[in-house]
Structure 1
Amino acid sequence: MGTTYRQFCPVAKAMELLDERWTMLLVRELVLGSEHFNDLRRGLPRMSPTLLSKRLHQLVRAGVLEKRVAGNDVRYVLTPAGQELRPVVEAVGAWGARWIGEIGDEDLDPKLLLWDMHRNVDRDVVPRPRAVLHIRFPEVRGTQGRWWLVITPKEVDVCDEDPGHEVDVTLTSSLRDLTRVWRGDLAWTEAVGQGRLDVAGPESLRRAVPGWFSLSVFAGVPRGDALVQV
């Protein structure tokens, strides 16, 4: 651990571990179910692999994580102490959703958005053995402007190159607007009605697509401006 506050207060002692840069976001990824190094990297695309390794080692040493190795399979699993951080992460996220609504351009990341979307697909309601969503962000240049989600009963793959399968539904939106929909700041029907989100494909699938996803866990948090008005 880096910072030492030299206080006996349990809050101070906890923060000596948790307020290191990226640590709480790493805990967020672990709480959301990521256990493999590459999956953790995809949820933290701007964190260097070297720093990620260092933070994982710190959490293992602190008893928050257990490193499990089975041949070439290496997983990082939350211990009971780590699991107790789940309501902490949820409370911080809810507070941020309620009171810090501002999203800067630098906060928008298509890779992170699609990764978060892929782990919130309800595969049981997708009405075919394989469904392919094509997501387009026209204002984003290069390969980052086109993504595919390939959904099967066993898994959901995020592709930044055309996987070669027939596309069932195409979503076209600005990165900001789809991020707002995902966060719960803009309703899907409102985005479609305002022309901020175009959904192309057979009518039955267009109507079904919103039900394939559970939105961000913080989408239902009442926003602070609404509470203030009340």
Structure 2
Amino acid sequence: MPSGYKQFCPVAMAAEILSKRWTIVLLRELIAGSTRFNDLRRGVPRMSPTLLSSRLKELEAAGIIDMNVDSAGPGLHEYQLTESGRDLGAVIEAVGIWGQRWVDTDLSLENLDPALLMWDMRRNLNTAPLPKARSVINFIYSDLPHSQKYWWLIVDPTGVVDLCSVDPGFEVDLFVTADLRAMTAIWMGLSTVKSQIEQDTVRLDGDQAISSQMQTWLGLSHFAGERKRAV
């Protein structure tokens, strides 16, 4: 069966490139700043490496990204947005705003993923309210199996944020025990730390200065400020 829309309309022509499965989500990661294959994989953890490679080649062929040699080491590559790719930023922004405003809250919270949530939190973390020393925050998702339960965010004195799913061996400053759904709702801007503490779905133990500022330093979704609209 021939593929494509076979229309001269610019919307149809753009959809030929952008409407393939995972492409919009992959573009979200590239626009958010991920440039290396492994970082892109962490942003799209349910996308197979083979499909990721295929989609990157398609975006390169379409002139949306360039593949360059990574200065970090031989055989490594960076994927950089071209002018065409950067121009898609407004498109991805508009799609995200629409989804935040109009997709039903329960539907938004159906597909929970602790690895993706923690990766996004790490990327958007606001280090300014945290102490000017290493801070270690241990997230414990009480409703998940042991293999997915424990995550550590480590902020070094220079403001660099690292994410670990294996105990890094540092003294923990704050323990955050939470339901995954509750923490996802906070991240999406659908709830607040204070509200979830009151509902007993989030518990904070440890440094009071860090815990009292959690709503401020927590890395929320780029779209968290968009208000839900009635459907």
If the length of structure 2 is used for normalisation, what is the TM-score? 0.92
Classify 1:123/1:39 alpha carbon distance in 2 versus 1 (closer, same or farther; 3 Å): same
Once the two structures are superposed, the pairs formed by residues 38-57 of structure 1 within 5 Å of their partners are 38-57=38-57
> Residue by residue, what CA displacement relative to the aligned partner does 1:88-147 show, whole Å, maximum 9, x if unpaired?
111111111111123377510000000000001123432132111100111101220111
Segment of structure 1 superposing worse, 137-146 or 68-77: 68-77
Which consecutive residues of structure 2, in runs of 5 or more, have no partner in the other structure?
none
- Which structure 2 residues correspond to residues 27-106 of structure 1 after superposition, within 5 A? 27-70=27-70, 71-100=74-103, 101-103=105-107
Matches within 5 A, 1:139-178: 139-152=143-156, 153-178=158-183
Rounded to whole Å, the distance in 2 between the matches of 1:127 and 1:83 is 35
Q: Once superposed, what is the RMSD of the aligned Cα atoms?
A: 1.6
Question: Please, which runs of 5 or more residues in structure 1 have no aligned partner?
Answer: none
The answer to whether structure 1 residue 118 and structure 2 residue 131 are counterparts is no
Superposed structure 1 runs of 4+ greater than 6 Å apart: none
Seen in structure 2, the aligned counterparts of structure 1 residues 125 and 136 have a Cα distance that, compared at 3 Å, is: same
For residue 214 of structure 1, report the CA deviation from its aligned partner. 4.1
Q: Residues 3-22 of structure 1: matches in 2 within 5 Å?
A: 3-22=3-22
Deviation at 1:55, TM superposition (A): 0.3
Taking structure 1 as the reference length, the TM-score comes to 0.93
Contact in 1 for aligned 2:204/2:211 (Cα 8 Å): yes
Structure 1 residue 195 displacement after superposition: 1.6
How far apart, CA to CA, are the structure 2 residues paired with 1:210 and 1:7?
Answer: 48
**CA distance in 2: counterparts of 1:150 and 1:72, whole angstroms:** 29
The 10-residue stretch of structure 1 (27-36 or 191-200) with the greater mean CA deviation from structure 2: 191-200
